[in-house]
Amino acid sequence: MVRAEAGRDEGAPLSRTEEVREFLVAEGGERLDKYLIGPLALSRSQVQRLIRQGRVTVEGAVAKASYLLSPGERIRVQLPPPEEPGPLAQELPLDIVYEDQDLAVVNKPAGMVVHPSYGHKKGTLVNALLARYPSLSQLPGSRPGIVHRLDKDTSGLMVVAKNEPARRNLQKQFKRGEVKKVYLALVEGHLKPAQGVIEAPIGRDPRRRKRMAVLRGGREAVTEYQVRKHLEGYTLVEAMPRTGRTHQVRVHLAFLGHPVVGDSVYGFRKKRLELKRQFLHSHILGFRAPSGRYLELEAPLPGELKRVLEGLRGRREAR
């Protein structure tokens, strides 16, 4: 029978969230990983993970999981900080445009954050998805099901995965640029020419770290655009990002001197239209489902954006 004495290592520097435990082997002959299952109350795979991470030493030296213990040897285990609880399920309205056994396509409203983060623990898309699809809680990571993101104040289509193989499949398509993405944006001024390709690398703004910017040495970023309609002082445009950089469409349109209307980060400071969000909407999303079927889905402009366009058309007709 193997016996152990557990106690705190008085000489080890401890953080407030880490715990160090020591065990003195009374009888040998057992593998290190099997020995630690009982006293640590962990599964064998969890113990092996600690060993791989170098958090377990025998007589001061890192040992393998298969190491055979001898009587009198001292084992030191440094337990990592306890993981924060995962996001909670929360009943929230969801507009599901399409779903099958592998995925769902959601029409996200403006104002909804995609996943929990500092200051946004509840009310996110992930919270809502967990309530609708409880099996997502079994997926790894703190953002179960999330394949790509939309900014808080951007509305429109997002695809979410219901299982891990589907998530990997869809993420690969996004990474390879195989997903069709069409955004509708209302921008300041009259955008010319009527169509074009913006090729400008994007990176973190060195002066304002919460912003992105077009920078030499930034990551490759390419956006196609097509003007839909010139309105009085504004342009309705389709933007088709070929790459997926943070804030890409917003940064690229602002780089041209035509920022998205209502964009509080990259837009004009003085508001000329009554709009409490940015006029950017994920309109069309096309991709191949894990089943092999090609899907192309469309979400119409939400009411508040339609009303802005109607107001601008009314101005023209009134003149």
| Catalytic site positions | 151
Which residue is it, tokens 């520097």?
13
Q: From residue 81, give the alpha-carbon distance in Å to each of 12, 18, 266.
A: 15, 5, 39
CA neighbor of 127 nearest in space, from 160, 93, 89, 95: 89
- Asked if residues 229 and 236 have their Cβ atoms less than 8 Å apart, the reply is yes
Tell me the HSE value of 218 on the side-chain side, using a 13 A CA sphere.
22
Q: What is the CA radius of gyration of the chain?
A: 27
10 Å Cβ neighbour count for 89? 17
| CA distance to 138, 160, 190, per residue, from 232 (Å) | 51, 38, 8
Alpha carbons within 13 angstroms on the beta-carbon side of residue 197 total 5
Q: Considering only CA atoms, which of 249, 71, 81, 77 is closest in space to residue 151?
A: 249
Beta carbons within 10 angstroms of residue 247's beta carbon: 18
Closest of 221, 256, 259, 254 to residue 240, by C-alpha = 221
